[in-house]
Amino acid sequence: MLDWEQIFATRSSRMRASEIRELLKLLDQPDIISFAGGIPDPALFPDVAFKEAYSDIFSSAQVGAALQYSVSEGYKPLREWLARDVAKIGIDCTPDNVFITSGSQQALDYLGKLFLSPNDTALVTWPTYLGALSAFNAYEPNYDQLSLNGNRTPEAYRDTAAKTGGAVKFAYLSADFSNPTGETVDLAGREKLLALADELDIAILEDAAYQHLRYDGEAIPPIMALDIARRGGIENTRTIYSGSFSKTLAPGLRVGFVVAAMPVIRKLVLMKQAADLHSSTINQIAIEHVASRGFDAQVAKIRSVYSKRRDAMLAALDKYMPKNATWTRPEGGMFVWVTLPEGMDGAELLAKSIATEKVAFVPGRAFYADGSNANTLRMSFSCADEAMIDEGIKRLGRLISNAIRAAA
C-alpha cells in the first residue's frame, strides 16, 4: 500500500485537525449547552433579505452574469460599498484597494502564502486566532510572541528570527474583540505596534472579523486608519486589513475582503487566479444587495442580542465562578476568556464537563502557538440565550470549584 506520509510535502506535517472543528460536532447533541462554537446565531441571519436578493437576481437580466465566471478582484459594486463602509472608520481607500475573498479565512491563507518562506517568523499574540495559525502553518513559519506593551526591543525579535534561519515578515492580530479573548488593543497599543512594525520594517495583518460587533465603550480607530493618517494615504501603509460578512450577515455565503496598498492587491489577484479564480459571483451580488439595503439595521439587531448575552455571561461568571478564576470583560465580539489556577487543564475539564455537566467550551491551549497555558478556556456567548448561559455557567462553576477543591 502507498505510504502517503512519505510522499506528502513537508508542510503537510503541520496540518492537524482543529480542536474546534471536532467540537462543532457537539452542537448537534440537543442536550449540550455549548459555549464552544464561536459562530453567529442562525436565528439572526437576515434570511428574508437574502431571499429577496436571490429572487431579484433570478428575475432580472443580471442572472446570466450572476451565474457566470467573474473577475478575480471581486464584484465591483460590492468593492465600492466596502470602500465607502471602511471610509467611515478612517480607512480612506479606492474600490481598487478592496479585494474580495472567500471568507476572511482565505485572506489569511493567501497572506501566509504571500509572505512566509519556510522558517520565516510570524509575530502573533499569545493567544491568537487558531484559524490563523492553521492557515500560516502550511507555509512552515516560526512564531514569536507579539508584545503590545513595548517591552521587547526590535532587536529581540530580529535575533529570535535569525536563530531559526529566517526573517520577521509580519505581525498578525485582531485589534477589536479578538478571538479567543474578546479583548481590544487600546490606542497606545496600536501606536506602539505601528512603531515596532516601522522599526522591523514588516507588515501588520489586522484581522477585523469582529469590527462591527461593539456593544459599549468608545470605538478605537483601526490600525489601518492610524497608518493611513500617519502616512498620508493607503499606498504608503504597511497594514493589510481583512474583514468579513460572516459575523454580521451570514458565514455560509463565504464573503470576506482585504483592504491594502495596490502592490499587495495585485499579488492577491494573481494568487486568486491560481487558487479559485474568484469568489462566488452570485453570493457577492447577494451580499451587496443585502448590505446596501440594510447593513446598519442588521448590525444594530445583532449588537442588541449579543450584548445582552455578553452581559448574562459576565453576570453568571461573577455569580458562579470560584474566586481564583479570572476572565476578560469584552466590549464586543463573541468571546469571554477564562483563566483558571495554574496546573488545571482545560482539555481534561472539557471531557468531564461534557460527561457530567453537559456543557461545552474550547480549551485554551490550541490558541497558543507554543501549546502553553492549558489552564485557559474560551467561552462563546453568541449562540445561547440568557437562561441557558446562566444554567451553563452555573454547572461549569460547580465543576471548576470541585476540581479546584480536589486539587488542593
Q: Is 181 in the site for ligand PLP (CB under 6 A)?
A: no
333: left (phi over 0), alpha (psi -120 to 50) or beta: left
Q: From 103, 95, 72, 44, select the one nearest 251 (Cα to Cα).
A: 103
Contact with ligand PLP (CB under 6 A): which of 40, 46, 127, 251?
Answer: 251
Question: By C-beta, is 121 or 174 nearer to ligand PLP?
Answer: 174
Residues 12-41 that bind ligand PLP (CB under 6 A): 38
Letters for 295-334 (x = contact with ligand PLP by CB under 6 A, - = none) are ----------------------------------------
Length of the chain equals 408
Judged by CB under 6 A, how many residues of this single chain contact ligand PLP? 14
CA 160 to centroid of chain Cα atoms: 26
Q: Is 125 in the site for ligand PLP (CB under 6 A)?
A: no
Contact with ligand PLP (CB under 6 A): which of 105, 142, 160, 353?
Answer: 105
Q: Is 112 in the site for ligand PLP (CB under 6 A)?
A: no
Question: By C-beta, is 193 or 400 nearer to ligand PLP?
Answer: 193
For 141-193, give the DSSP string.
-EEEEPPSSS-S-HHHHHHHHHHTT--EEEEEE--SS-TTT-----HHHHHHH
Q: Which residue is nearest to ligand PLP (CB)?
A: 103
Q: From 106, 77, 244, select the one nearest 176 (Cα to Cα).
A: 244
Contact with ligand PLP (CB under 6 A): which of 137, 142, 179, 375?
Answer: 179
What are the phi and psi torsion angles at 143 (to 5°)? -115, 145
Q: What residue type is 64 in one-letter code? A: G
76-102 burial by CB neighbour count: b if 16+ within 10 A, else e? bebbebbbebbeebebebebebbbbbb
* Angle between helix 187-200 and 154-163 (nearest 10): 50
Please report, for residues 42, 109, 121, 310, the alpha-carbon distance to residue 124 in angstroms, rounded to integers and kept in the order given: 31, 15, 9, 26
Q: Is 110 in the site for ligand PLP (CB under 6 A)?
A: no
Q: Is 168 in the site for ligand PLP (CB under 6 A)?
A: no
Contact with ligand PLP (CB under 6 A): which of 37, 46, 127, 131?
Answer: 131
Question: By C-beta, is 182 or 346 nearer to ligand PLP?
Answer: 182
Binding segment toward ligand PLP, per CB under 6 A, in 98-106, 160-168, 299-307, 386-394: 98-106
User: What percent of the residues of the chain are helix, what percent strand, and what percent coil, each to the nearest 5?
Assistant: 50, 15, 35
Contact with ligand PLP (CB under 6 A): which of 148, 209, 271, 354?
Answer: 209
Q: Is 279 in the site for ligand PLP (CB under 6 A)?
A: no
Task: Tell me how far, at minimum, the Cβ of 32 lies from ligand PLP, in Å.
Answer: 20
Q: Hey, which bits of 245-317 come out as E strands?
A: 256-259
Task: Tell me how far, at minimum, the Cβ of 256 lies from ligand PLP, in Å.
Answer: 4
List contacts with ligand PLP (CB under 6 A).
Answer: 38, 103-105, 129, 131, 174, 179, 207, 209, 244, 246, 251, 256
